[in-house]
Each structure stands twice: as structure tokens, then as C-alpha cells.
């Protein structure tokens, strides 16, 4: 038998199983909502790196009364996040339009807004005999560039391959040796992705003007150097990690 523990960050199942979690709090909150736009997203996700933190607009299917919709994840300092969560819809849309720009045209409406504190949470154990901790239960990351979702998909692909190989070799489902092989092979990808998602937010959490200038130059450089921008996108999307995947 094999139990997959995938009940999200601060996993209740992990606590029941005695799997310890580590947590690093960021001095940032995420404001989340659905936003109706005047232009179609074309199935593309958008992310702006602002002075306060990343702002992501993720494509959603059409809904009644909102042909063009996106899911918003807006990273802000705690006080500002509370202000944006509680202000009027008109004031919120004006501030969001100013921060995001007009790539999706006019921002027409916003759903109920919620906010939550951001943290990096990791399980100290990911495998035991017959047990695998996965997804946000294993590693809940800062939402920058959607790294947590991409990493979870690669973990799933890796586990599926290892399980198939184990069954072909006659191993029982959930055999610890197979699960350890999965964990060992995913370790480098997880460490690299977690490190990236942990370091990038720190660029927006310091008031040091020199750091701010360096950050702005680096972000501007990505626009001026298409090759560097493509390489950044490859790593952010996990394409590079897939090509390095040990399972073939």
C-alpha cells in the first residue's frame, strides 16, 4: 500500500504522522482574488516584479458575466496588503491597474479579496515505508513565478516513473528503497527551486537603496537581453529541470 500525503501547507496528516515541519516567515502577505479584464489573456500568465513584490495574473476560464478572467496573487507588505484587501473595489482596481499596467486592458471588476501571510514550509521527512509527502505538504514555497506548482508537477512525474520501474522489477508498491531513490533524485531539483523562490522575494524586502538599484538594473537587463530573459524563463518554468530529469 502507498499513502500520498498531499493535503497542503501546514499538513494535518503530517502532524498526525509525526512528520515535523520547518517554517520561515516572510514579512509579506499575498492578496488573492479573481479579476475581470477587458482583453483576453490568451492562456498566458503574467508577472510583474514591483518595488513591493511580485504581482501575478494567472489565466482562468470564462465565467458568467466575465468573459476574460485572471486569478490575482499580489505580494505586498503586511499593512499594505490589509489596506488593499479592505478598500473599496474602485480604489483597489485603480491601485492594481497602476501596479500591473494595461497588458490585459482595463481591469473591470474584482471578486472577494483575501490575504494570507507568506512562508516557506518544508517537511523534514518526505518518504517512509509506504508513505510519500508531496506538493505543498512537502514544500510550500513563496508564490513567486509559480515555482511551487511547477516543482510539485516534476515531483509527481518523478514518483510515477520510480513506482513504475519498481513494479516492473517486482518491488511492492511503496517499497522504501524505491521511495528513497525518488527522494534522492528529486533532491537537487527541490533544493535549487526552493533556493530560487526563497532568494527572489528578499530582493523586495530590503530598504537598502543600493540593493534596489541593483535589482532594477537586473530586471531591466532581462528586457534588454532576450537570450538572458529566455534562460530565466526556462528555469522559472522548470524546463531546464525537466531536461536534466534523471528518469528519461
Buried b vs exposed e over 124-159: b needs ≥16 C-beta within 10 Å?
Answer: eebbbeebbbbbbbbbbbbbbbbbbebbbebbeebb
Contact 113, 82 (CB under 8 A): no
Contact 159, 247 (CB under 8 A): no
Lowest mean pLDDT among 19-28, 123-132, 191-200: 191-200
What is the residue-averaged pLDDT of the chain? 89
Residue-level pLDDT at 233 = 64
The percentage of the chain sitting over the pLDDT mark of 90, rounded to a whole number, equals 73
pTM (2 d.p.): 0.81
- The rounded distance, in Å, linking the Cα atoms of 62 and 32 is 18
Domains of the chain: 3-20+124-243 (3.50.50.60), 25-117 (3.30.9.10)
Q: What does the pLDDT look like over 36-65, one tens digit per residue?
A: 999 999 999 999 988 888 999 999 999 988
Residue-level pLDDT at 146 = 85
Residue-level pLDDT at 49 = 85
Q: What does the pLDDT look like over 194-204, one tens digit per residue?
A: 998 998 877 76
- What DSSP designation does 3 have? E
| CA 128 to each of CA 124, 165, 180: distance values in angstroms, whole numbers, following the listed order | 11, 18, 8
Cell numbers describing residue 73: 496573487
- The rounded distance, in Å, linking the Cα atoms of 107 and 96 is 8
The backbone region for 219, taken as left when phi is positive above 0, alpha when psi lies in -120 to 50, beta otherwise, is: alpha
The DSSP H or E segment spanning 174 is none
Task: Give the length of the chain.
Answer: 248
Amino acid at each position: 500500500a502507498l499513502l500520498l500525503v498531499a493535503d497542503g501547507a501546514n499538513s494535518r496528516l503530517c502532524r498526525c504522522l509525526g512528520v515535523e515541519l520547518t517554517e520561515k516567515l516572510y514579512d509579506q502577505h499575498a492578496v488573492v482574488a479573481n479579476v475581470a479584464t477587458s482583453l483576453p489573456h490568451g492562456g498566458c500568465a503574467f508577472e510583474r516584479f514591483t518595488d513591493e513584490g511580485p504581482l501575478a495574473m494567472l489565466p482562468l476560464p470564462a465565467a458568467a458575466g466575465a468573459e476574460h478572467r485572471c486569478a490575482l496573487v499580489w505580494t505586498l507588505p503586511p499593512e499594505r496588503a490589509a489596506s488593499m484587501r479592505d478598500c473599496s473595489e474602485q480604489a483597489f482596481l485603480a491601485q492594481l491597474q497602476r501596479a500591473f499596467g494595461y497588458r490585459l486592458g482595463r481591469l473591470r471588476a474584482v471578486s472577494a479579496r483575501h490575504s494570507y501571510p507568506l512562508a516557506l514550509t518544508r517537511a523534514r521527512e518526505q518518504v517512509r515505508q509506504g508513505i510519500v509527502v508531496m506538493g505543498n505538504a512537502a514544500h510550500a514555497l513563496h508564490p513567486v513565478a509559480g515555482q511551487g506548482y511547477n516543482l510539485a508537477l516534476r515531483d509527481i512525474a518523478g514518483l510515477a516513473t520510480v513506482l513504475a520501474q519498481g513494479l516492473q522489477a517486482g518491488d511492492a508498491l511503496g517499497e522504501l528503497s524505491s521511495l528513497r531513490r525518488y527522494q534522492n533524485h528529486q533532491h537537487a531539483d527541490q533544493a535549487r527551486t526552493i533556493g530560487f523562490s526563497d532568494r527572489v522575494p528578499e530582493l523586495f524586502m530590503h530598504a537598502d537603496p543600493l540593493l534596489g538599484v541593483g535589482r532594477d538594473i537586473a530586471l531591466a537587463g532581462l528586457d534588454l537581453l532576450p537570450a538572458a530573459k529566455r534562460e530565466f524563463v526556462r528555469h522559472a518554468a522548470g524546463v531546464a529541470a525537466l531536461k536534466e530529469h534523471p528518469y528519461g
